[in-house]
Amino acid sequence: MRLSKPTDFGLDLVKFFDDYLPEQRGMSPHTIHSYRDTFMLLLQFLVRDTNRSVEKLEIKDFTAEHVLAFLSYLEKERKNGVATRNARLGAIHVFARFVAYHRPELLGTLQRVIGLPFKRGALESPIDYLERPEIEALLQSIDRRNILGRRDYALFAFMFNTGARVQEVLDLRYRDIRLDSPGQVRLQGKGGKSRLCPIWPATVGLLRDMMREVRSIEQDPLKAFVFTNARSQQMTRYGVRYLLRKYVAAASCVVPTLRDKRIHPHSLRHSTAIALLKAGVDFATISQWLGHASLNTTMRYARADVDLKRQAISQVFPDALAPPQGGHLLVDGKELLGWLRRI
């Protein structure tokens, strides 16, 4: 079958995802996948809005009017919130700037896309995190009598200890861990940035026990992923989410407050940040611990914790309040959606 000649829109998208985002911007695979999802939705919308097939879409269809209609579609038909709408628009802005740089003759049209404003009124979502009794209940709900249970216990204990992003945890190999005192781990963060994070002696013990079991089945255990599934393959984000949901459900029978919380893997990272903050660790240290690019990201945890707010009030009104309790190449536009799915 003869492939149709690619449109300028298709070629620009290939260069954007194949080279610009990973190589020039150094974006993480997770961020690239988020951008991919945006453009899959946009392409499908443009097909419907222009009444043309994907392979016929051109860069001239990438107008401010079409983007505005797309944003309205996200909110009204897909019921997306303002934060999601703004995140999609952010990805579109980046693509528009990329195309404008390489195609200056389109600058006038693309400048209108770049000028589309983010919508105000996006409320900062409440941060879901676990209190100490909830963390203990979650860990105690794990059956450690079998190898998978011991893996799950070590997985969530490690996540609570380090506050690592879930993908940082899944990419971890034994060569990244120092088990000798003082224990520490090297985490690969966003944009390929690495950082060292201390690990507690109890966590070191869990990882050392896991490594003993790995040595019996791996020829080169230091290169092996730390957290693998029953087939000895690297665990997935979906696998971690499933396990967390299962153990939270079990723990909620012991600690009922868990029933009212929407806990996801990133909640464990939030829990670490809040625990460090309550322990009196300064913001700069927490920011480095978590691998935040900006202190502003870390500061939001101070706004999230009710106990910290109570402490602030008690310092202002000490008599009024008691102290707190302690592949290149896609050329056929028809395959553009399929190619994006494979990124």
Q: Which residues are catalytic?
A: 165, 190, 266, 269, 292, 301
Contacts of 57 (CB under 8 A, 6+ apart): 7, 9, 10, 43, 46, 47, 50, 333
The DSSP 8-state label assigned to residue 232 in this structure reads: S
The Cα 44–Cα 169 span in angstroms is: 34
Contacts of 329 (CB under 8 A, 6+ apart): 14
Identity of the amino acid at 170: L
The Cα 189–Cα 166 span in angstroms is: 10
Whether residue 137 contacts residue 254, with contact meaning beta carbons closer than 8 Å, is answered with: yes
Give exposure, 87-121, as e/b (b: 16+ Cβ within 10 Å). bbbebbbbbbebbbeeeeebeebbeebbeeeeeee
